[in-house]
Amino acid sequence: MARRDTPEINAGSMADIAFLLLIFFLVTTTMNVDSGISKKLSEKPPPDYKPPIIKEKNIFEVNINRNNDLLVEGEEMKVEDLKEAAIKFIDNGGGIGKPGEDGTPGTACDYCEGERSESSSDHPNKTIISVQSDRGTEYGAYIKVQNELLKAYTVLRNRLSKQRYGMLYTDLEKRYKDSRGSDKEEFKKKVEDIKTSFPQIISDAEPTSAN
Amino acid sequence: MSKFKKKKKGLPAVNTAALPDIVFMLLFFFMVTTTMRETSLQIEAPRLPSATEIKKLEHKSLVSTIYVGKAKDEKYGTGYNRIQLNDKIATPDDVPAFILRAREEVSEAEIPFMTTSIKADKESSVGTITDIRLKLRDVNALKLSYSTQTGADN
């Protein structure tokens, strides 16, 4: 009777240990996917570069001063109203658009639903949004303005996409990303079409310095 | 008394033998998905501004991050305009070198797809961001992303 049964290891607290580890990893995990407002910088112009002449009426001027106040086209405005103002401006369609790259003359904007006022922008593809900020402007305010402007474009693109392809532009983009093979080509064409109809031209003017 | 005793048949205890298995499964999931921060922050974690029109950054290996915010170390002052590259507080003049070094790590074909992500605090000033932007343009690092939180749609 020398053989003694080895007592079973008590595994009752194993769950506790595992929980402890689990909670540790739960707390330390950061699942944030990096996301942000993407922007493409313009290339550095050559020294003898002459900026093209752009008609005043095609520029939507947004100024942010050092107190984070907004001046849009010479008038004070709240950030909340910026989107509407931008939509109105881009969507105006008062004249003819840029001539095509192959030399075809520009056409009037047939998908614009704006007022077609003479004194506002000619065509979405001619419209330039220029954001000028002060060096002392808060970054948060700057991002807010950029976001509102992008929102304006999204609204317009969604509208056009709904008319042409029966779905929102945001959905169209998502489908394009998820699709494979020949579908992808088709979606790509649609996305490009919407993109060129409402190109996002948001330029950052040199900031004024606060002295 | 016997009336009461009859009732007390008792439910069998719930078997918790599989509980550790479940917990371990969760544990492994979190262990695998966890990414530890590679660079230690020299500035206070930036409070990112929130935005709605955002795009996800893909290909983590092609993203180089620049932090802007308030330095933890008091000797750098208390303004929100300190720039951190890698592990050090730096100046805008160091940005080109930082980008060029990041480029060495990827193949030539991928260089045009490299993105610079700026994680700046809400209270940083646009001037600092502009300085960085000009330096980025100097080295032709044209893809830029202003890192933001996902904000509520209003």
Average per-residue pLDDT in chain A? 82
Alpha carbon distance A39, B73 (integer Å): 31
Alpha carbon distance B94, A32 (integer Å): 28
Residue-level pLDDT at A211:
47
pLDDT at B38 over 70: no
Beta bridge partners of B116: B64, B144
Residue-level pLDDT at A113:
81
Q: Annotate A161-189 with b (16+ C-beta within 10 A) or e (fewer).
A: beeebeeebeebbebbeeeeeeeeeebee
Contact B56 A34 (CB under 8 A): yes
Long-range contacts formed by B112-115: CB under 8 A, 24+ apart: B113/B59, B113/B62, B113/B143, B114/B62, B114/B63, B114/B64, B114/B141, B114/B143, B115/A38, B115/B57, B115/B62, B115/B63, B115/B64, B115/B143, B115/B144, B115/B145
pLDDT at A104 over 80: no
Alpha carbon distance A153, A97 (integer Å): 17
Prediction ipTM score: 0.73
Contacts of A167 (CB under 8 A, 6+ apart): A161, A175
Contact B68 A139 (CB under 8 A): yes
**What angle separates helix B126-138 from helix A139-165, to the nearest 10 degrees?**
70
Residue-level pLDDT at A2:
59
Domain count, chain B: 1
Beta bridge partners of B71: B43
- Could you count the other beta carbons within 10 Å of the beta carbon of residue B95? 24
Give whichever of A105-109, B54-58, B77-81, B100-104 has the largest mean pLDDT: B100-104
Residues of A in contact with B137 (CB under 8 A): 41-44
Residue-level pLDDT at A3:
64
pLDDT per residue over A164-197, tens digit each? 888 888 888 888 888 887 888 888 888 888 888 8
- Mutation target to probe the B interface, by most B beta carbons within 10 A, among A21, A34, A65, A145 is A34
DSSP secondary structure of A41-102 = PPPPPPTT--PPP--GGGEEEEEE-TT--EEETTEEE-HHHHHHHHHHHHT---SB-PPPTT
Domain residues for the domain of B103 are: 50-150
Q: Classify residue B144: in a domain, yes or no.
A: yes
Q: Nearest 10 degrees: CA dihedral of A176, A181, A185, A187?
A: -30
Q: Classify residue B33: in a domain, yes or no.
A: no
Q: Classify residue B95: in a domain, yes or no.
A: yes
pLDDT at B6 over 70: no
Confidence at A19, pLDDT banded by 50, 70, 90: confident
Å between A59 CA and nearest CA of chain B: 21
Residue-level pLDDT at A90:
85
B147 close contact with A: CB closer than 8 A: yes
pLDDT at A40 over 80: yes
pLDDT at A157 over 60: yes
Å between A31 CA and nearest CA of chain B: 7
pLDDT at B24 over 70: yes
Residues of A in contact with B120 (CB under 8 A): 139
pLDDT per residue over A118-144, tens digit each? 778 888 888 888 888 888 888 888 888
Residue-level pLDDT at B37:
63
Confidence at B8, pLDDT banded by 50, 70, 90: low
DSSP secondary structure of A89-136 = HHT---SB-PPPTTSPPP-B-SS--S---TTS-S-TTT-EEEEEEETT
Q: Classify residue B54: in a domain, yes or no.
A: yes
Alpha carbon distance A130, A144 (integer Å): 15
Contact A37 B117 (CB under 8 A): no
Å between A155 CA and nearest CA of chain B: 11
Least confident among A27-36, A152-161, B129-138: A27-36
Q: Classify residue B69: in a domain, yes or no.
A: yes
* Predicted TM-score (pTM) above 0.90: no
Least confident among A167-171, B10-14, B103-107: B10-14
